[in-house]
Amino acid sequence: MLEIKNLHKRFGNFEAVKDVSISVPDGAFLVLLGPSGCGKTTLLRMLAGLELPSAGQIIFGDHMVSDGDENWSVDPAKRHSGLVFQSYALWPHMSVRGNVDWPLKVAKLSKEARDKRVTEVLELLDIAALADRYPNEISGGQQQRVAIARTIAPKPSVLLFDEPLSNLDAKLRVEMRTELMRLHRATGATTVYVTHDQIEAMTMASHVAVMNHGRVQQFGTPADLIDHPETAFVATFVGTPPNNMVPVVKNGAGYKVGGRIMPIDPPAADCLAMYRAETMVLAQEEAAMTLPMELVETSTIAGRTMVTGLGDGMRLTAIVDTPPKARIGDIVQFQLPPEPDSWFGPDGGRIR
């Protein structure tokens, strides 16, 4: 349904999006995931038709909607897509019903057809009781539902969301995630959702494109990203808690890990060893494969304890069954497993 080919976007000498190519099946829920400034919102704006690509193409179904090489783009209103903004952008002088009705009126539907469709989407979003209220008379969560209702009313084939939950409190965010997934199933529209919250990405997406510095670091299912991260960035950005990345440096005849010579056999002279938090343990005393770390945080997670330590410029996390007796600020010994879960090169690419 959605294909992006060799897409670039430049602002002067700055390249915000660099050679992005992904193909998304019909009805997928694609999440563009990455830190602030990685290019995900710029990519979404190109999908919406609000920015013209500097190079590359965007295809919706059988129709090309943007061609940066030829310097043309289909008008946003003619793409059969809908965009939900982070700021809601509701008309303050219109009621909830009026806001949802507006895009249908622009599409020149009959009043009877408009009334029927408005009633349908208000009931779908569970805001029918708010139909005659104005935006300043309803809560932020309710305003977000109205913005979504207005977007889906014309039945777009592609739904675009720009961090729509970022203005909501934590509890409401969880509830709205469930509502958005229910909405996605009900509409069947191909959905593209921008967020920097990897929990949102992992719980909602059928496909995820992890972005950094304008490039897609990895594209795949949430399980692919967790089980087989292709770069060190993906390995440390995706997952709760994130994976531990430990530098292994050639030192004479041996290898230094966190300031200590260890019996370890890396596939390259200088590389990064990845250890999953659930494979790390705390040792009672110093041993051949332990690293002394300052205990900085402990927290309960699913009946177990997440322990975090700092030392030698590293931040390590272990998931343990029993909380440590040490106090915050004490030195604890993090035990590395005999073999890392994965190896990455100095450039961040996966070796094995």
Report pLDDT digits (tens) over 126-156: 899 999 999 999 998 899 889 999 999 999 9
pLDDT in tens, 256-294: 998 888 888 888 888 999 999 999 999 999 998 999 999
pLDDT at 57: 97
- What backbone torsions phi and psi does residue 270 show, to the nearest 5 degrees? -130, 120
pLDDT for position 173: 86
CATH 2.40.50.140 domain position(s) in the chain = 241-344
Would you state the CATH architecture of domain 2-236? 3-Layer(aba) Sandwich (3.40)
pTM for this predicted structure: 0.90
Q: Long-range contacts for 180-186 (Cβ within 8 Å, ≥24 apart)? A: 180/148, 180/204, 181/29, 183/124, 183/125, 183/148, 183/152, 184/29, 184/159, 186/124
Q: How confident is the model at residue 207 (pLDDT cuts 50, 70, 90)?
A: very high
Q: What b/e sequence results for 207-237 when a residue is b if at least 16 CB atoms lie within 10 Å of its CB, and e otherwise? A: bbbbbbebbbbbbbebebbbeebbbbbbbbb
Pick the CATH number of 241-344 from 3.40.50.1370, 2.40.50.1020, 2.40.30.10, 2.40.50.140: 2.40.50.140
Per-residue model confidence (pLDDT) at position 350: 94
Mean pLDDT taken over the chain: 92
Per the CB < 8 A criterion, the answer to whether 43 and 220 are in contact is no
Cis peptide before 35 (omega within 30 of 0): no
Tokens of 288: 């051949």
The arithmetic mean of pLDDT across residues 244-266, rounded, is 88
Work out the pLDDT band at 33, boundaries 50, 70, 90.
very high
d(CA 199, CA 142) in angstroms, rounded, equals 22
Mode of pairing for the β-strands spanning 281-283 and 331-335 = antiparallel
pLDDT for res 251: 86
pLDDT > 80? residue 233? yes
Outline which parts of the chain fall under CATH 3.40.50.300.
2-236
For 109-133, the pLDDT digits (tens) are 999 999 999 999 999 888 999 999 9
Q: How far apart are CA 173 and CA 189, in angstroms?
A: 21
User: How far apart are the C-alpha atoms of 182 and 176, rounded to whole Å?
Assistant: 10
- Residue ranges of alpha helices (H) inside 89-139 are 96-106, 111-124
Residue 253 clears pLDDT 80, i.e. is over it = no
Residue 10 has pLDDT above 90, yes or no: yes
The predicted model gives 6-20 an average pLDDT of 97
Kindly tell me if the per-residue pLDDT of 247 is higher than 90. Answer: yes
Pairing of strands 271-275, 281-283: unpaired
Nearest to 136 by CA among 91, 172, 87, 171: 91
Question: How far is 148 from 84, CA to CA, in rounded Å?
Answer: 6
Contact 295, 315 (CB under 8 A): no
How many residues in total does the chain contain? 352
Read off the pLDDT band of 168 (50, 70, 90): confident
pLDDT at 194 over 90: yes
Banded model confidence at residue 99, pLDDT cuts 50, 70, 90:
very high
User: Quick one: pLDDT at residue 352?
Assistant: 84
**What pLDDT is recorded for position 166?**
82
